[in-house]
Amino acid sequence: MRRVFGFFQAYFNGFFDLMKDDFGTNEINHNNFNNAINWVGNKTILETEIEELEEEKEEEGEEGSPNENVFLYSNCDAYAGEFQMSKRNGWGVYLKYTGQKFEGLWKDNVRNGFGMQTIGNSIKFVGQFKNNECDGQGIIFHQSGLMYSSNWSKGELVNRKLLFENWKDELLELFPENSKEEVNEKSAQVTSNNIVDESNGILRKKIKDELENLQNKSNFRPYNLEEKSEVTAKSVNNVNFTENIIGEGRIQTISSKINNYNAIKTLSNEIESKTLSFYNTDNSAECCLSWNMYQVAYFIKCIGLSKYVKNFILNEIDGCTLPYIGFEELKEMGITEITHIKYIRMSLSLLLKLRLKCIRKQTFTPQKLIDDEYLKSFEIPANELNLKCRIGEGGYGKVYKAIWTTRGITVAVKAFRRRDKHALAREFYSELSIISRIRHPNVTLFLGVVMSPLYCLVTELVPNGSLFDLLHTKNSYLTSTQLLKISRDICCGMAYLHENGVLHCDLKSSNILLSGNFNVKIGDFGLSTLMESPLETRKMLGCIGTHHWMAPEILRGEGFTKYADVYSFGIILWEMITKKIPHEDLNINHIVASVGYGHKELIIPENIPSTIKTVIKKTWSRNVRNRPNFKQLTNIFDQLYQSSILDIEENLLAFFGQ
C-alpha cells in the first residue's frame, strides 16, 4: 500500500490546493511534495500545515469552543465549567445521573446567579438563583409550549401567571414618568455603542402609544381573562418550593444531588388536562417568531434582566429576528458582560427549540396518516406479510424478517411500539416522510407501510447485518480495500442525503448495513429531519442521537447541521480502523461533559496513512465550518479505493508473471 498511496500524492496535492479555503491549506510546490502521503512515515508537510492552521483557527475559535474544566464523578454525575479555589465558581454545567441538568452561574459550589434548571422532560426553569435556591424572577417552560412568568423568594414561589398576562403594565413600570422639565430636555443622545438613548419618560410615552396602536389594530391579542385557567386563578403565594413546579435539593458538595420531586408533575398534569387552545396562544413558544419587540423585551425582563429591556426596544428586536441573535449581535446592542450574553443566548435557544417541538407535535396526527393519499399508495395489507423471526430491537420497537407473499421477496418490517397514539403517529410519519422520498444505491430501499393493526415500515432486507456487528460481534477484520470501499459508500450515500436536504442525525456503525461484497446501505431514519427553509437548517431539538458518535455541539444541545453528520462519520472511520467502540469507558453524562464541553478526542493510531489521519482530524474540527462536506470526502475515498483495486490487480499480474 506504500506505493499505492504514493501514486496519488499529486492528486491529493491538487485536491487540497483546490479546497484550501475549506481545508485551510496553503499552496505547495508539486515538486517538493514527495512525502505528502506516506503509510507509516513521519508527519507530512500537508498534515503539518493543516494542523498549524487549524490550531490558529481554534485559537480564534467560535464562542463556546474553549475547553472547560471537566470533573467526572463515580456516581455518574459530571460537571463542566469554571473551577476556582477547588470549588465550582463561575459559569458551569452540572449533569445528574437522573437526567437533570443545571447550567448557569455558581459560587462556592452552589447555584448563585442566572441559570437554567431542567427536571425530567416536561419542565425547564430559567431565572435567578441565590444560595442554591430560586430567588427572583424566572420563566417556567412546559413541554406543551406554554410559558409562565414567576417570582420566587428563598426557594418559595411567590406568584405564577401565564407569560403575557397583564404584561404591558409591568413593562411600563420599568419606565417611570419624568418631570416636565426633564421632558423638555434633549430627548435623545448617541451612546458609545451607537444606540439611541432616550429618557425613561419619553420612552414610556412612546411605548404606551405604540402598544395602544397595536391593540387597536388587532395585531396583538390581549390576554382574555375568561380563558384563564382555574389553576392560575388560585392563590399560589408562599407555596413551598419543594412542593411545586421545580423541586430542588441543596448542592453542598461536588457529588451531591439535584433531587427530582414527584410534585413537579402537578403543573404538567394541570396543563395537559386541557387543550392548548384553552390558553391564549401568545403564551406559547410556538408563536415566538410573531412577537412584537415589546413582547421580546418583556421576555428579557421575565428572565431577570430588566437592565437590558431598553437595549432590546431601542434596537427593535422582534420575534422574527430571534433566530439570528448571536454573540456579536448582543455585543453590538451594548450587552458586554459575557455571562449575561451566555444566559440570554441559552434562554433564546430554549425558546426556539420549544417552538419547533410544538410545531412538530401539531404537524403529525393519526388523522393525517389516515387521510394522506400519497401514503395510501404505499400501503401494504398486513396479511401479505409473513413474519419469520425478529432480527433487531430498539426504543422505537422491533424489526422482523418477513416474506412479502404477493411479491415473493424477503423484506424487513420495522414495527413501532404501541403507546400514545399522537406520539406514535408523529414518530412514524417523521421517518416515513424521509425514507419514502429517497432512492439511492447506498440508502435502504423503502417498499411500503402497514397501517393496521400496527404502524410498520417495510424496507429491503440487508442480509449481512450492520457494520457494528461486523466489527464488534463477529470480530472480523477489514482489509484496507474493504475499509476504503465502506467509507466511500457511506460518504456517497450521505452526500446524496445532504444534497436532497436530509440530515440523518443518528449516523453510527449500527445504522450502516452491509449487503454482499460489503456494499453499504444507510438505514434508520427515525431521527432524521428535512432542511426545508433557512430556519429549519438546524434541527434544534436538543441532544438527539446516540451519544458515543455524537458531535460536541450536539451534546451541548445546539442545533443539528450537516456538519454534525460529518463528525459522526469521522467517529465511524476511527471505529473501523481501531475496532473499538468510541468512548466505551464513559457513561452518557461523562460523554456529554468530556466530549461536549471538554472537547475530549479519541486517540488516533500513529501507524495509519497520513491522509486518513488528516481526514479524521478535519471531520472532528471544533469549528464546524472547517469540516469537509460529504461530496469532498466521497472524492477522496473514491480515489483511494480505485488506487487500492489497481494495486491488487497489478500484484496479481506480477504474481502470474504477466
How far apart CA 144 and CA 360 sit, in angstroms, is 11
How far apart CA 499 and CA 172 sit, in angstroms, is 49
- Domain pair 75-363 / 366-460, same fold: no
pLDDT at position 345 over 70: yes
Distance (Å) of CA 279 to CA 222, 230, 500: 12, 11, 38
How far apart CA 30 and CA 236 sit, in angstroms, is 76
* Residue from 526, 629, 529, 519 nearest 569 by CA: 629
Contacts 24+ apart (CB under 8 A), 203-206: 203/175, 203/310, 203/313, 204/172, 204/175, 204/176, 204/177
What is the three-class DSSP state of 545? Answer: coil
* Residue from 375, 135, 108 nearest 253 by CA: 108
More confident residue, 32 or 61: 61
- Please list the residues that pair with 534 across neighbouring strands: none
* Residue from 115, 112, 142 nearest 126 by CA: 115
Residue 378: the pLDDT is 82
Least confident span in 19-28, 186-195, 584-593: 19-28
The answer to whether the CB of 496 falls within 8 A of the CB of 443 is yes
pLDDT at position 110 over 90: yes
Query: How many CA within 13 A on the CB side of residue 71?
Result: 16
Contacts of 451 (CB under 8 A, 6+ apart): 369, 370, 379
**What cell does 533 get?**
427553509
pLDDT at position 402 over 90: yes
Q: DSSP for 177-227? A: PPPHHHHHS--EEE-TTS-EEE-HHHHHHHHHHHHHHHHHTTSS----GGG
Say what percent of the chain tops pLDDT 90.
39
How far apart CA 47 and CA 152 sit, in angstroms, is 56
- Residue range 589-617: average pLDDT? 92
pLDDT at position 52 over 50: no
**Which ranges of 364-479 would DSSP assign to H, the alpha helix?**
366-371, 373-376, 421-435, 467-468
pLDDT at position 469 over 80: yes
How far apart CA 178 and CA 1 sit, in angstroms, is 82
Q: State the pairing for strand pair 133-142/123-130.
A: antiparallel
Determine the length of the chain. Answer: 658
Q: In which element (H, E) is residue 649 found?
A: helix 630-655
Average pLDDT, the chain: 75
CATH 2.20.110.10 fits 75-363, yes or no: yes
Give burial (CB, 10 Å; 0-12/13-18/19+) of 515: middle
- Residue range 631-635: average pLDDT? 94
- Residue range 134-161: average pLDDT? 90
Give burial (CB, 10 Å; 0-12/13-18/19+) of 595: buried
Q: What phi and psi values does residue 620 have, to the nearest 5 degrees?
A: -100, 10
State the DSSP code for 534: G
**What is 366-460's CATH topology?**
Phosphorylase Kinase; domain 1 (3.30.200)
How far apart CA 644 and CA 313 sit, in angstroms, is 63
More confident residue, 295 or 237: 295
Domain ranges of the chain: 75-363, 366-460, 467-646
Confidence of residue 475 (pLDDT cuts 50, 70, 90): confident
Does 562 show up as a binding residue in the annotation?
no
Confidence of residue 57 (pLDDT cuts 50, 70, 90): very low
| Residue whose cell numbers read 430560586 | 134
More confident residue, 433 or 260: 433
Q: What is the 3-state secondary structure (H, E, C) of 366-387?
A: HHHHHHCHHHHCCECCHHHEEE
Q: Which amino acid appears at position 167 of this protein?
A: W
How far apart CA 26 and CA 19 sit, in angstroms, is 10
- Residue range 458-466: average pLDDT? 88
| Residue whose cell numbers read 403507546 | 419
The fourth-level CATH superfamily of domain 467-646 is Transferase(Phosphotransferase) domain 1 (1.10.510.10)
Residue 271: the pLDDT is 53
